[in-house]
Each structure stands twice: as structure tokens, then as C-alpha cells.
Chains A and B, each alone.
Chain A
């Protein structure tokens, strides 16, 4: 039929609608095929992780850890005698996919609880959906301060949402000893990601250090994944701080470190967790990994009885070291939840919640207790972390004293 006539009829439109109608039926059956009759046997846990896209690096490390956690839980008798089965949903770091994922995991897979979540955007987007379903969610990575704030503001609505991931104040508390004690700085410069959590960290850090008499002389924020740092390096040079604090935790961390090294800036910088704590990454950086200082949430030292066992098994299974955050906190998130359910002795969410609120749980990174925002608490005997320095692909632990393995190795061009 010629175009004009084709255009001047409504036929195409209606036919299209008919095809659409047919596809609804087809679609429902595609979606439905994942549906299974709920058996009493395995207990399903839904894991929301980014397995594709720019966050897949972290997402895959989370998945690694969940797999180990599953093994361990099941070896120890499972949750309330039931074996754990993990259903993964790839959020690709996308909020909408996160929401869809929650609905799929709850409605189709009938999961008992949710764990994971890498980016804060996904966490905040799913918070309400999860609250509506009234199902537990253990946030294991996303670090936005808004997440515990939700719980604090409306504890009834978000009662089943907990976080084993770190809070920005923890970043501060864990990094500050480097600035004040190890370097003894009077001024510092902050480099962060252009993101809400990093800006919040900047504020908390500034306030905290001001009280200790350390002044911030400048700051720069870069979009996640930035590769080129010449302008920031120049800015650091011109502000001449005693130390640089860098929360470039994603892909941008490595180019920053390399370019910082090349510029021979006369003071050290410390990376607040993230990519510069990854042993495999730093080893591959060669000489440019030397003198990189870092704060890490966990290390291959006996924080608890589980720590070194986990590190050993992780390296053995995957061929590279865990990062201490995405993996350790995810492992802990799932195992802490399992411990809580077993301790509560019931599948009742209310009881699980109060068990989580009132008790102390052993994890790989330390011991977990949750505050009024359902945020894992920081502190001696709970969770701390380490400060270290890389040289020749090996890390020296500088802090805290009980696990210390050496002193700060000064680069020849440092003035401190």
C-alpha cells in the first residue's frame, strides 16, 4: 500500500495495538517463568549487585563475598536449619533497575531478605519499596549518610533496614590519625568525588580536624572516573598543604595516585579506602604505587578469629586479595544477618530486628553493633580498620598500634 493511504488510515495503529496485546500475554509468561513454587527447603536471599556497567568491578567483588558467605553459612547448618540460596539481580548501578530488582526478588523469587546495594542512588531508591514490602534489607556497601538518617527520622517505616557498610563519620575517624599523629600536619587538602557522600565526608572531616587544630587549605571535587588530574595537582602545589586526603575511591583513584607521584609533591597523601587499597591494583602500578598511604576497613590481620581465614580463602578461591570493603562488608552483612536470625530462632522479622538492634555479632572486619540509625558502629572493639602504606607492592601497617608492622617510609622528595 502506498505511504499516503497507509498514513491516512488508522489501520496500522490498531494492528499495532493488537500485536501489543499479544505481547502482553507473551510477556507475562516470560516474567512468570521465573516463578517457582515455594518449597520449604532452601531459604532464598536476594542480592542486589551491579554486575554490569561501570560499577561492575565492585559488584563482582560483592558477589565473590556473598558466595563465600553462603558456603560458610550452609556449612554451619544454614539459617534455622535451612540452606541459604542467593538470587542475584544485576542493578547495573541503576536506581530504576534496583527498584525493579527488589520487586522481582520479592514477588517472583519470594526471597526472605535482601542484601547488597553498591551505589547510594540504588539504596535510596529502593528504601521505600523495601519498606512497603516490610522485608529486611542489609545495605553492605553504599555509604550515603542519608541511609541511616532515613531510619533515624522514621524508625517505624524503615525498621528492617540495616547497614554494615561504613558511614562518612567512620571514614573520618579512621583516617584522621594519619593526619594528626603519623604526619603531624597542621594543614591539609581534600580531593573528593563529586558526590553527595564525598561532600558530606569533606564537611565532617573539616569539622573534626578543626577541633584538633588542623586547617583545610583547599579542596577539589572530580566526577567519578576522572582520569586527568593535572589541574588538581597544580592546585595542590599552589596551596602547599602538609598532607592530602583523597577520597577518590573508584576508577579515578589510580590515575590520581600515578599523577601525584609524577608531580613529586613534597607531602604524602592518604586514600580513604577504595581502589588504592586493592593489592592487585597497587602491585600493577609498579613504582608509582610506592609511598601511597591508605586507610582500609579491614586487613589480613587478626581483627577477629574470622579475619585471616576469610582472607586466605578469598585469595585461594579468586586469585586476588579482598579489598576489605565491598567484599568484607558484604560477607559480614550476610553472615551477621544469618547469625541474627539463628539467634532470634524465628523467621519473624520483628524478632530478627530486635536481635540485630540489641546484640553484638562477630564479622571479618570486627564486631558489629547497630546504632539508632541501624548503622554498624565504629570504635575500639567493634569496627576500626587500618592505616597503611604501600612500597614495592607490600603494605606496611602504620596504625592502630596493636597490628602495626612498621613506620612510615618517607619518599626522598617529601619535606615532612
Chain B
């Protein structure tokens, strides 16, 4: 009994770390640019397919494919922001619609490029790790470790680098940042690309465990929505914490209640939290 619970929790934490990674990009874009990027899921899809392209179709090793795909999606994000988001950024609703339509455009382009069929990235590492109550795929453990590494790197970037500090300042107050000589446009462009890259990394890590298809990005997007708001928009510790909580909650609900309710529960919790504390669990009061 207790072993099952332990095993479930470990599984939940492992997967939750990756959820957190997927949600972080959304949080950064929300924090720095104050726009909801519905294309975030599409960048996730792109990350998965680029990893597929490099590792399967071009036969590169997994790590190279992973890095290349993250870089390319970063570049795509930057271009996307420049051409599509920047001209309309002040209009929250327009950005929302544009990124929604943009997500479909990307999905369709992926469909026409790679075909609508299900694709797989074979395991990049095989074997299992023993845990109480069973074993878990070694890939999950490693992916989790990589995800945590990326999060740690993110902290360092935000805390110590010039661009990171600039991002935090823009997030705090765009106008003030502008008067302090920060190139707000460039910071936002970078943040958007960065957000896209985080989505792509999460996809590259998750897709060997899951499956690739053109509309695969919607599910992580919706999950990321819930995580970001639940944890408090723009709060990175909040997002990481909530991501992991969501992972655990999902696995536990799936086991103790039913697998169909596990998708509903996070959103119910979200509504509950937001009714009590309108800025999310870790969000600052306005």
C-alpha cells in the first residue's frame, strides 16, 4: 500500500518536473510581455518534430538533436515575435487570436511536412531504475534531471546575467525599464524565443516517452495554462512547484479516483484557488 503510494509519487514528481519545464516558457512570456501565447503548444510540437528530424531522419545522436532543435525553435520564436507579435503586442486580445491561429498554421505546416502519421523517437537510453514498489524508466529520471538542470540554469540567467536582469526589470515595469536604457523590444524578443525554446526542450525530453503527431501540442499547452495561473503568473518558483504538484496530483487521482478525472481535477483546483486567491498560489497581490 505504502509502496504503491511511494511509487506513484515518484512517478508524479518525475513527470511533474517536465510539466514545469513546459509551463516555464509560458510563464516567462506572460511575465515579461504580458501576453498569453497560445502558440506555446505549437512550439512544443516543433521541438518534438525537430528532434525527430535530427535524430531519426538525419541520424544524429540524441543530445545533438536536442540542442539543435532547441536552438532552431529559439530562432523561430524570435522571428515569430518580430514579425507577428511585436506590431500588435499592446492589444492583448489580438495577440491571443493571432497566436491561436498561428498555432493552427504551425500544426498544419507540420502535418504537411512530416505527414499526419504518428511518429516516434526511440528511447535514447534504455534500462530502468529501481524504486520502492517497482521500477521507472531511466529516461524519465534523466529527463527529470535535465529539466531540473535547465530550471537551475534559468535561475542563474535571470539572477546574474545582463539579459536576465533586463528581463526581470521589463517584467517589473516596462516603462521604467525603458527609461533606464533597457532595449525593451529586444528583451521581449529574446524572452519570447526563450519561452519557445523551453517548450521545445520539454517536448524533446517527453517525446521519447510519448508519441509525436501534429496536434500533440494542445494538451501540454492547456496543462501549462493551468500550472501558470495556479502557481501565480510570472512566478518561477511557483510554476516549478505547481508543475510538480500537478504531476503528483494527476498520477494520484488517476490511481485513486479514475484516469478520466485526472485531467479534470487540475482545472477544478485551479478554479478553486483562483476564487480564493485571485492571483494564484504564488502570485503577488496587485
Contacts and interface: CB of A to CB of B under 8 A. Distances in A.
Interface of A: 52-54, 56-57, 59-60, 194, 220-223, 225-228, 230-232, 234-235, 237-238, 251, 254-255, 258-259, 262-264, 275, 278, 280-281, 284-288, 320
Chain A CB within 10 Å, residue with most, of B126, B215, B253, B263: B215
B279 interface: no
Nearest to A275: B118
A206 B122 CA distance: 35
A125 B255 CA distance: 35
Contacts of B128: 262, 264
Nearest to B104: A52
Contact of B8 (A226, A234, A262, A284): A234
A287 B134 contact: no
Contacts, number: 118
B259 A226 contact: yes
A232 B259 CA distance: 7
A285 B120 contact: yes
Contact of A60 (B56, B116, B121, B136): B116
B211 A227 contact: yes
Contacts of B255: 231-232, 234-235
A262 B137 contact: yes
Contact of B126 (A59, A227, A259, A287): A287
Interface string B237-278: 000000000000011111100111011000000000000000
Contacts of B210: 227, 254-255, 258
Contacts of B258: 220-221
Interface in B1-27: 4, 7-8, 11-12, 15
A238 B8 CA distance: 12
26 contacts: A57-B117, A60-B117, A194-B259, A221-B260, A225-B219, A226-B259, A227-B209, A227-B211, A227-B219, A228-B15, A228-B251, A228-B254, A230-B15, A251-B118, A254-B120, A255-B209, A255-B210, A259-B209, A262-B135, A262-B136, A278-B118, A281-B119, A281-B120, A284-B56, A285-B120, A285-B122
Contacts of B149: none
Contacts of A60: 115-117
B122 A231 contact: no
Given A225-B219, A228-B251, A287-B126, A234 B118 contact: no
B186 interface: no
Given A56-B214, A234-B255, A223 B263 contact: yes
A263 B135 contact: yes
Given A234-B133, A286-B123, 6 more contacts: A52-B108, A54-B215, A57-B117, A230-B11, A254-B211, A286-B120
Nearest to B257: A231
Of A225, A275, A278, A284, most buried by chain B (CB within 10 Å of CB) is A284
Interface string B42-61: 00000000000000100000
A232 B7 CA distance: 12
B111 interface: yes
B260 A223 contact: yes
Nearest to A54: B215
A285 B210 CA distance: 10
Instruction: Name the 5 nearest CB pairs between A and B, nearest first.
Output: A231-B254, A286-B122, A284-B120, A231-B255, A262-B137
B213 interface: yes
A281 B115 CA distance: 13
A278 B116 CA distance: 14
Looking at chain A's contact residues, is the secondary structure mostly helix, strand, loop, or mixed? helix
Given A54-B215, A223-B260, A228 B120 contact: no
Given A255-B210, A264-B128, A264-B135, A220 B259 contact: yes
Given A222-B259, A281-B120, A284-B122, A231 B251 contact: yes
Max chain A C-beta neighbours (<10 A), residue from B11, B135, B254: B254
A238 B260 contact: no
Contacts of A223: 259-260, 263
Contacts of B123: 258, 286-288
Contacts of A288: 122-123
Contacts of B126: 287
A77 to B, nearest CB: 33
Nearest to B137: A262
Q: Which of B4, B134, B211 has the most CB of A within 10 A?
A: B211
Given A231-B252, A231-B259, A238-B4, A259 B137 contact: yes
B274 to A, nearest CB: 24
Contacts of A234: 4, 7-8, 11, 133-134, 255
Nearest to A57: B116
Contacts of A52: 108, 111
A285 B56 CA distance: 11
A280 B258 CA distance: 32
Contact of A237 (B121, B122, B134): B134
A255 B216 CA distance: 13
A56 B11 contact: no
Contacts of B15: 228, 230
A52 B12 CA distance: 33
